[in-house]
Structure 1
């Protein structure tokens, strides 16, 4: 296995969005084409490669966030991008499997600004397509000839187990408003942080890094996931659909308790009491959701959420510093963490 000592400028070029896409997307396309034709068509549509008729499309195929994290972390432990190209592509497939299923569970009709796969192809076929992406991702890491294949395969399987656990737990707690912050954090650690941890830890496993490096990277991924999802919760209520690619206030319309909601409900006082009253009603009109959003902000829910997201981002960067990666890779990951959480350019 080759090692790499690169300058900060050279590293930025290797880890640019265009470079990561050029390295990972061909692998993703090749793997998708190996699926049963109907499943391949659904997956290609979901990933933005084709339109609903199977013709080439210029739709967005995602930001490849997890592949970018993995590639940067690989540089930090002395590996080249090609050393983790297969697991990086596999992790993107695993992530997209959760998106296909999430859209069905949440009845979200849009994904990246166009109809979700289940709206185009039906619920049953979309479920199977999501399952196919999971199976394909796991098969890729099992067949990957690189070092420490067994450890990496185990990390992927554990990440998938946690994601499914978090998704199941979320379905349970969304039924009421009494969810505690600790339970909310546990859901995010499983559903969101698990794949980010996998992205950061996989290169360290491949490089045979010591346990303290793995522990630090897991901590960075945990806090990064919490910071990202809490900020995402804020965007659901007050964000721009042109940026998020999804309708605003979908979570509160479904009465899915996100962090701003939980913070607002637990604040006490008239705004919190009125918010609880509206939360337990059946209203979903624009005016109803607007009043709920105003009450969440008035009760301090938005402020607490934004502050908590910043705190988790700071903790993620502290753990990243303890991993002892190369200075150039640490700097690149620091910038990447900020872009992930705050959607900065």
Structure 2
């Protein structure tokens, strides 16, 4: 396998956002364009390549977070970005398949500041488009001839299985009588952490890294996913829609048990008890949602969630340190972890 410049200057040049995009997006475009034409049109719209008429668009393509993680991790084990380009593109496609399906399940009408694919093309076609991206992602890793193909294919299949399990579990919990923090953690580990773990582990599998490296990277991905999702839960209630790209309090409106609410309910006390009553009442007016948010904060749910997010980020960095990656890659991944969780520039 080829190696690359491990100095800070060399890494910055290789892993700038523009470099990651120029490395991964052409592969994504090429693969999606080869889909059945109708599915290609829906997927191209969702990915921001085209508008609803099929004309070229300047819409956002997403942050390519998983591709950036994979590219940085690749450098950490002595590979070049090109060595995992196909896998990075495949993981972005797998991630986007979950976004298409999530928007339908949650009835979210906006994605990246414009109408979600299901609002434009209908739920039936959007479901098929999400399925097509999922199948395409797995086909890409199976077809790639490089080292570790079997292990990488298994990692992708396992990540896909976990995401589906987490989504099913979340939906079941949402319809049930409630969930505890342990159940919440399990859902996040499946639905969110699994793809981040896959991003970090894939280069190590390609490089034939020993098991202790794989274990450290899996741990980093697990805690990174928890840190990100918990912070995302906080933003859903108290965030700025201009930053998040979605209206606030969607989780509360759907009665999706997010960490701040679970923590507030677990804390008990007068605010927690009033919160439980409002939560079970099922109201969705703006005033009702605002009162739920206020009681969640009063009962300590926001503080607890923010602290748990910071703790998980610290744990993710501790695991990253055990992986023995190159210093430059470790520094890049440390910065990426912070940007992912805290939405820093």
Does the 8 Å CA contact 2:192/2:225 hold for their aligned counterparts? yes
SS in 2 for 1:209: coil
How far, CA to CA, are the matches of 2:208 and 2:173 in structure 1?
39
In the TM superposition, what is the alpha-carbon distance from 1:6 to its structure 2 partner? Answer: 2.0
CA contact (8 A) 2:196 2:225 kept: yes
Structure 2 residue 234 is the aligned partner of structure 1 residue 234: yes
Residue pair 2:201, 2:214 contacting (<8 A) in 1 also: yes
**TM-score, scaled relative to structure 2:** 0.99
What is the distance in 1 between the residues matched to 2:85 and 2:209?
A: 18
Contact 1:177 1:257 in 2 (8 A): no
**Which residue number corresponds to residue 248 of structure 1?**
248
CA distance in 1, matches of 2:53, 2:164: 31
Matched, 1:14 2:14: yes
Partner residue, 2:158: 158
C-alpha distance in 1, partners of 2:114/2:275?
32
Q: CA deviation at 1:282?
A: 2.5
Gaps of 5+ in 1: none
Higher mean Cα deviation, 200-209 or 265-274?
265-274
1:291-314 C-alpha deviation (Å, 9 max, x unpaired): 110000000000000000000000
Residue of structure 1 in register with 2:94 after alignment: 94
1:24-82 Cα offsets, whole Å, 9 max, x none, are 00000000000000000000000011111111111101000000000000000000000
CA shift, 1:281, in A, is: 1.2
Tell me the SS of whatever aligns to 1:18.
Answer: helix
- Cα displacement (A) at 1:283: 1.2
CA–CA distance in 1 between the matches of 2:13 and 2:288?
48
Aligned-pair CA distance for 1:146: 1.2
Structure 2 unaligned residues grouped into runs of 5+: none
How many residues are treated as equivalent by the alignment? 345
Distance, in Å, in 1 between the alignment partners of 2:244 and 2:48 is 16
In the alignment, which residue of structure 2 is the partner of 1:111?
111
Structure 1 length as normaliser, TM-score? 0.99
Q: CA deviation at 1:177?
A: 5.1
Per-residue deviation, 1:5: 3.8
Q: Measure how far apart 1:178 and its partner are.
A: 3.0
Contact 1:5 1:78 in 2 (8 A): no
What is the CA–CA distance in structure 2 between the aligned matches of 1:147 and 1:52, rounded to whole Å? 39
**For the aligned residues, what is the CA RMSD?**
0.7
Distance 1:37 1:260 in 2: 43
